[in-house]
């Protein structure tokens, strides 16, 4: 799809915030480890993406009640839903000067529209080697979900089904959506939040 940037300034996609806390010692340590294992910037992006996708558990998949929000929290506790995992991937990339932002989809919570809708978060990163933005979904793979790192074609976790009123938002945001952060901060039980409290629109 044709992506548009909220800001034309790449510097806006490098900012540290309360939740994209890449100055935290755990973030800087992990990003340095991943960088040392990489042969170039593209390889680092792939390694950071696959680390968050594979090593940080999706809280719903492991039926955990813990709610993480900040990038450092997702890293310390090794879990989070897509909102927290996208904060972490963004922080890892920005810590090495790689522009990263946030993208969203509106999806059904279950398999059909009668289950309701929720906002799903993923990332986009600017890859200097190809001169464009690439979307990456670090939600975490399982049966029926097979997101991959790819610069040639998007391989996201979820296809958008227009017949079900699902949608792709085309904007690359410089900060996570306020509703997604608010719901993480206001809840203490992830399972209850996931079933009852996720925002359905941006």
In order, the DSSP letters of 67-94 are ---SHHHHHHHTEE-HHHHHHHHHHHHH
Quote the pLDDT of residue 90: 98
Quote the pLDDT of residue 100: 98
DSSP letter (8 states) at residue 66: -
Quote the pLDDT of residue 138: 98
- pLDDT band of residue 102 (cuts 50, 70, 90) is very high
Contacts of 115 (CB under 8 A, 6+ apart): 108, 109
Quote the pLDDT of residue 1: 79
Quote the pLDDT of residue 112: 86
Quote the pLDDT of residue 110: 83
């Amino acid at each position: 799809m044709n992506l548009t940037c909220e800001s034309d300034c790449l510097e806006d996609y490098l900012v540290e915030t309360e939740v994209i806390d890449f100055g935290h010692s755990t973030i800087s340590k992990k990003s340095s480890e991943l960088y040392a294992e990489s042969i170039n910037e593209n390889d680092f992006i792939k390694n950071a993406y696959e680390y968050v996708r594979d090593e940080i558990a999706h809280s719903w998949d492991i039926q955990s009640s813990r709610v993480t929000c900040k990038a450092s929290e997702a890293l310390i506790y090794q879990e989070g839903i897509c909102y927290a995992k996208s904060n972490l991937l963004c922080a890892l990339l920005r810590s090495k000067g790689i522009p990263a932002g946030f993208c969203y989809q509106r999806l059904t919570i279950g398999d059909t529209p009668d289950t309701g809708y929720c906002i799903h978060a993923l990332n986009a990163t600017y890859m200097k080697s190809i001169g464009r933005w690439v979307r990456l979904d670090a939600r975490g793979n399982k049966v029926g979900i097979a997101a991959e790192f790819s610069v040639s074609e998007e391989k996201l976790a979820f296809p958008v089904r227009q017949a079900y009123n699902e949608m792709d938002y085309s904007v690359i945001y410089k900060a996570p959506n306020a509703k997604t952060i608010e719901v993480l901060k206001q809840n203490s039980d992830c399972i209850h939040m996931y079933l009852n409290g996720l925002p359905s629109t941006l």
